[in-house]
Chains A and B, each alone.
Chain A
């Protein structure tokens, strides 16, 4: 049936229903992300000599991420990468036994996201991640420094939140359509509804591919590497903090050194 963003098929009654997303878009997304990130890298390289020196990582350290939050981040990262790989493998023709790994990773992602939502609501500083109208001025005003999270970080977080919740909810609905150790499938969801679920899962997968690539790119950028380090070891230096954040909006604890 016709290919655009959406693929259609005839259901058992001969009616045209949604089948899912067109996987040609996977290549469109991959190329678009590569081009945009390459363009960003070139522009940043051209502007590099105008930048100030990098703040030192030496000296006093402040705590940016607690151990449990770092653990959550890396479990989530691994599960998302495994989900993307196992989901994309059959589409690009890799013959691997992917489905069991896919749903197990999906369940792990679901559990850690539920854990994160509960922890962020009751044990973390939830307000530090709220994206308010004033945050939108931040990229255009170099005198404005953010609190714990910058505008870009909040934007990435909330975009990933929406996309991850969409991929989880649709993934769980798809999970119910296969046999698992927990149940035998009923295979009774109407085909039009099933197609919509597949479409939303596919679209959120494409978004997740783009977001994961963008996130990894920025995590590896030289000027952002200290954030990546903080996601491994938990700390940033006081100099890195004052250069990039407003101590009036974020006053972290000192990181205990062992």
Chain B
């Protein structure tokens, strides 16, 4: 259960395919027993604490087809899922058209982690609820209780919205960004490929209390496509965490706003770390369209963002925090 220092790494079959066909064949053959490994920044924590013990791993970082950033015909870009966060943050094309993603990728954890951590890994990573990560048998781990939402539960980092028995949140900085950019996740398996809107890629505990994405056994997230629709819009990303580096967001916000003569034509906003999925702020978006971008407007729409919030014992602070982030995003 708890990490100990006198044991050794368990035996794991390590597969290192170098092409997509082999990787998908392995994923299909091994199914749920085949742990998909990219940068390992989520995986190694689980292994070190002995709280997950996969019998086999498929390392995806040697598949060249799933690396790199390419320009798409519609003015958008396609990013391979095993592209590192540093590559994304530093890429001139991403910086020039989708600065929102470059900023978000540059805010993940620390430089060392971004050097090995991948976009796919950052999107698919498991939740950071400390009860769950400690190996307790909570709902998400197949049990029948939630330790975080109990009388003594410490739930400062947990959900304001959409909890269904489990109150864990999505920890990703890039996930709300890709929702705001209306990205599409390309998922492949031996049976073929499917493209899923970013907003539908993540699922909450009401639909699946164990998995945080719609990925099925044998499926691999191979690419992320960002359409040209939001290229060069006005972007805002902010992450509030307990420390400036190497930490997960208490709340983060990603906003893409198109304006003409100071009037907002269209907007997409999403918050992370307030729900098990990136929370798209559609009521705010609706209120923004057709309005003059101003301080007054920012004040007006901020409260819309937190309507329906159900704070736990220790996370009421997330409500004003989220409202302030919305204000700052709208102010620009």
Binding site for B on A (CB under 8 A): 9-12, 14, 19-20, 90, 95-100, 177-179, 185-188, 191, 194-195, 198
* B151-A9 in contact (CB<8A): no
A-B contact pairs, 10 of them (CB 8 A): A9-B137, A9-B143, A19-B143, A19-B144, A90-B209, A95-B207, A177-B145, A179-B163, A187-B153, A188-B150
Nearest CB in chain B: distance from A96 CB, A: 7
Query: Do B151 and A187 have beta carbons less than 8 Å apart?
Result: yes
B203 touches A188 (CB 8 A): no
Chain A interface, >50% SS class: loop
Known interface pairs A19-B142, A19-B143, A90-B209; 13 further A-B residue pairs with C-beta atoms within 8 A, sorted by A's residue number? A10-B1, A11-B137, A12-B136, A12-B147, A96-B207, A99-B206, A177-B145, A178-B164, A179-B163, A185-B149, A187-B149, A188-B150, A194-B145
Q: Which residues of B lie under 8 Å from residue A185 when comparing CB positions?
A: 149
Chain A residues near B165: list those with CB within 8 A. 99, 178
A95 pairs with B208, CB closer than 8 A? yes
Closest A residue to B209 by beta carbon equals A90
B214 at interface, CB cutoff 8 A: yes
The interface residues of chain A lying within 8 Å CB-to-CB of B146 are 187
Task: Give the shortest distance, in Å, between A93 (CB) and chain B (any CB).
Answer: 9
Q: B151 and A188: CB pair below 8 A?
A: yes
Chain B residue contacts of A188, Cβ below 8 A:
150-151
Do A99 and B137 have beta carbons less than 8 Å apart?
A: no
User: By the criterion CB–CB under 8 Å, are B203 and A95 in contact?
Assistant: yes
Contacts of B214 in A (CB 8 A): 95
Given A90-B209, A194-B145, check contact A14 B150 (CB 8 Å): no
Residues of B within 8 A of A186 (CB): 150-151
Q: How far is the CB of A45 from chain B (nearest CB, A)?
A: 41
A177 to B208 alpha-carbon distance, docked (Å):
18
- CA separation between A198 and B139, bound complex, in Å? 13
Closest A-chain residue to B210, C-beta based?
A90
Q: Which residues of B contact A90 (CB under 8 A)?
A: 208-209
**Contact status of A187 and B150, CB under 8 A, knowing A12-B136, A14-B1, A19-B144:** yes
Contact B149 A19 (CB under 8 A): no
How far does the alpha carbon of A177 sit from the alpha carbon of B138 in the complex, in Å? 13
Q: A187-B146, A194-B144, A198-B144 are in contact. Are A10 and B137 (CB under 8 A)?
A: yes
**Chain B residues near A97 (CB, 8 Å)?**
164, 206-207
A residues within 8 A CB of B163? 179
- Closest Cβ of chain B to A143, distance in Å, is 53
Closest to B135 in A: A10
| Pair A187/B207 contact, Cβ less than 8 Å | no
A99 to B139 CA separation, bound complex (whole angstroms): 13
Residues on the B chain within 8 Å of A96, using CB = 207
